[in-house]
Structures are given as structure tokens and as C-alpha cells.
Amino acid sequence: MEIGSFLELQFPKGREFYSQESDIIRLNTGRAAIRHAFKISGCRAIWLPVYQCDSVREALMGDGAEIKYYNIDSDFNPINLTPKHDEAVLFVNYYGIMSYKRMTQLAASVKNAIIDNCQAFFCKPVDGALNIYSCRKFVGVPDGAYVIGKNVNRGSECYPQGYSSDTALFLLTRIEYGCEGKGYQMRKINEDRIDAEDIMLMSPLTRTILDGTDYDYIIQKRRENFMLAHQAFGEINKINPMQYYDDTTVPMVYPLVVENDNLIDSLFAAKHFQGHWWSYICDEQPEDTFEHWLSRFVIPITIDQRYGKKEIDYLSGIIHNSLNHD
């Protein structure tokens, strides 16, 4: 027991959003969580959507998993998905705009469902499935992920304890220096650390921050900002982000799709630091596929709890002015 000496950062306690779950394991990253879920599923192969971060497939391939792929249509429904009884299927809650009901329906369509809620931190776990959550897409933490599902702790005794304080300086640097320059350099150190790690248990620093976070505020602000963004962009958006949205939905971003290759540069110039997601798909998929079209044109508009109407209005002005001049 240590008593005295210097004071550390202090946070409230007892607020962790998934603290009441009994079948839960706390790991270091979302892709580590997916790897763990597949390992304990007992399946010999896993189906991944073509529209997915390539780090997931690379991590699974590194484990020697047999990987199969399915496409999605313009309503984000799976197509050409034919899993056998001993094959798992990963369903992604894209942009966090898919409701609990939607994810439950997808999970019910297969025997071995893994729900990737990395973009939907607050989507309730689906019974009978393994549910994946990424903490740092919704909270300012250096790492952290959850897997929630039946008997999910199997094999966890083999994972070493993770530590993140050595590379967490970027969380403080962002406050004083912003996210460019020194802030970006510090964050890259943390990203490099995460990329090099195997499956590890969540760091104590991340667990402490998560246990002191105001989740009600995050939910409120993200939902408010999402609706402000939809009011600003709904008429020009080529997809309907409200299709599966309900009162259980807390989005990560507002997915804006406009067929304009120059818009992203205008937003970068205005210091909106959100790029196209998974651009590698444009190199791998035919131009007439939905995945290619999404990867080329979707812009994830920031709607997180740091911002409000002022910032959404600012982005609206940039976007509409840019489109009017092209």
C-alpha cells in the first residue's frame, strides 16, 4: 500500500458504463477484442464484410483464421453471405447509426454472430452473440475495448496486463497544443504502441478514466449533434442515416455521402480532421459496388460531445459553400 507523496490525476469512481456486466472481458483494442471473440467462438472460419477496416482482417489472418467475405447492399443488408454451422459472421454497426433492434435481427440470421459495435459504444449487447466495443472512439482514453457475451472470459488468463501511461501524454498535449504538430506526434507514439501489441488486458489508466466518465452527457450531446447534422445535410446526403435510427442509437459520426471528390480537401483546409474511411477498398473493389462508392464519397462528420451547434453550423457553411462553387 502506498500512502503520501505527490498527488495524481483523480477521477470520480463507479460510473463505468458496462460495470454491471458479468460476462465481460476488458482488453486493449477493438481488433484484439474481435480476435478474442473469434478464438472463443470455436469456429473454423469467419465471414467479414468487404466494407471493414483492413486492420481487422490482417489481425485475424495473423492468427491463422480462415476468412471469407460478404458484400452489403445500399440498405447495408448482407448479400452473398452463406455461413456454415461452424463459421462465425461479423456484423458491423456502421457509424453507430444502427439500432439495437437492427443488430438483433442481423444476429438472429446466423448461428455464430459477432457484433462489431466499435462505432456504437452504447448499443446494448445482443443476447446469444459476442459483442465488441471500442472505448476510445467515444471517450478520451489511450486504449480499451470490451467483449461481452456468454462465457467470454475463457482464455483471458493467458493475456498479459496492458499499460498505457507511457504513451498517454497525447491526451494532455491535445488540451494545450491542439491535435496538430506536437499533439499529433504524441498521438502517433500511442498508435504505434497499440499497433505493436498483441491481445492484452485493458490498462489500469483507461479503466480509471472510464470509471469516472459522464456517459449521460456523451449520449445527450452525440444525439443532439447528430440531429443538427441531419438538419444541415439531410437533403444533400445520398444515403439515409435515419433508416435504422431509434431511441437506442448513439452515433459515432454523421455519415455524409456526396459525390464530390474535392469536398474532403475543403474540410481539411477548414481543420475538420476526418478523412475518408478505408480508402483501400477503392483499390480492391469494382467501381460499381456499394463498398467502392461508400469508400470514395463518405465523409464522417464529427458530432462528438466536445461540440455543439456552433461547430455543426461552421461545418455546414464550409460544406455548402464548397459544393456551390464546384
| 65 and 80 fall within a common domain | yes
| 104 and 32 fall within a common domain | yes
Q: How many domains does the chain have?
A: 2
- Decide if 205 is inside a domain: yes
Name the CA radius of gyration of the chain, rounded. 20
- What integer pLDDT is reported at residue 326 of this predicted model? 67
- What integer pLDDT is reported at residue 246 of this predicted model? 96
Residue reference for cell 489472418? 61
Q: Is 232 exposed, middle or buried (0-12, 13-18, 19+ CB in 10 A)?
A: buried
Cell numbers found for residue 28 = 486493449
Tens of pLDDT along the chain (326 residues) come to 788 878 888 899 999 999 876 799 999 999 999 999 999 999 999 999 999 999 999 999 999 999 999 999 999 999 999 999 999 999 999 999 999 999 999 999 999 999 999 999 999 999 999 999 999 999 999 999 999 999 999 888 899 999 999 999 999 999 999 888 998 999 999 999 999 999 999 999 999 999 999 999 999 999 999 999 999 999 999 999 999 999 999 999 999 999 999 999 888 888 888 888 899 999 999 999 999 999 999 999 999 999 999 999 999 999 999 888 76
- Decide if 308 is inside a domain: yes
| 224 and 301 fall within a common domain | yes
Q: Which stretches of the chain are DSSP H helices?
A: 30-41, 54-62, 100-108, 169-177, 182-196, 204-211, 215-233, 263-269, 280-284, 290-297, 309-324
* Residues 265-308 pLDDT 10s: 888 888 888 888 899 999 999 999 999 999 999 999 999 999 99
Query: H or E stretch including 303?
Result: none
| 202 and 219 fall within a common domain | no
Final residue belonging to a domain, choices 187, 211, 235: 211
Tell me whether strands 24-27 and 145-148 are parallel, antiparallel or unpaired.
Answer: antiparallel
| 257 and 201 fall within a common domain | no
| 70 and 95 fall within a common domain | yes
| 261 and 139 fall within a common domain | no
What's the CATH code of the domain at 144? 3.40.640.10
| 108 and 146 fall within a common domain | yes
Residue reference for cell 471469407? 68
Which candidate, 279, 118, 145, 152, places its Cα nearest to that of 202? Answer: 145
Range of the domain at 278: 215-324
| 69 and 201 fall within a common domain | yes
Residue 164 near residue 206 (C-beta atoms within 8 A): yes
| 143 and 32 fall within a common domain | yes
| 32 and 140 fall within a common domain | yes
Final residue belonging to a domain, choices 211, 245, 279: 211
Q: Is pTM beyond 0.75 here? A: yes
- What integer pLDDT is reported at residue 105 of this predicted model? 97
Cell numbers found for residue 313 = 453550423
